Amino acid sequence: MRLLNYQYRGIDRTTDVLSFPQEEKFSLKKIKPMQEIILGDIVISVPKAKKQAKENGLTFYEEIKRLLIHGVLHLIGYDHEKSNKDFKRMQKITKKIINQLEDI
């Protein structure tokens, strides 16, 4: 994961999740209802997820779910590294999706 993070982002440290979009510019507005699309790839570090689950008081499954949602949000254009406002918005959306998934 550290190598991927360095190779694709120029950051020489490990990370918990990386997203690789299929297209550079993605727009939800261009997607039709029930249209199948490939957003891209998401890579999750299992060791990092296990560690973070313990640190955050979550189960491993809950942490994987959180990281997967985070990765998908990146694939559809969200970027928490742009500003603190974007960071908070991503956190809010992630919590909302997690809460909705609890019923499933």
Residues 1 and 13: their CA atoms lie apart, in Å, by 8
CB atoms within 10 A of CB 32: 6
pLDDT, residue 101, reads 86
State pLDDT tens for residues 64-98: 999 999 999 999 888 888 888 888 999 999 999 99
Element (H, E) at 5: helix 2-9
Correct CATH for 2-101 of 3.40.228.10, 3.40.50.300, 3.40.390.30, 3.40.50.12780: 3.40.390.30
pLDDT, residue 54, reads 97
pLDDT, residue 25, reads 74
List the beta bridge partners of residue 21: 40
pLDDT, residue 32, reads 81
**Percent with pLDDT over 90 in the chain:** 65
Confidence of residue 16 (pLDDT cuts 50, 70, 90): very high
Residue 5 reports pLDDT greater than 70: yes
Residues 4 and 55: their CA atoms lie apart, in Å, by 24
Amino acid at position 60, single letter: F
pLDDT, residue 104, reads 63
pLDDT, residue 103, reads 67
Residue 43 reports pLDDT greater than 70: yes
Q: And the tokens for 11?
A: 């950051």
pLDDT, residue 84, reads 87
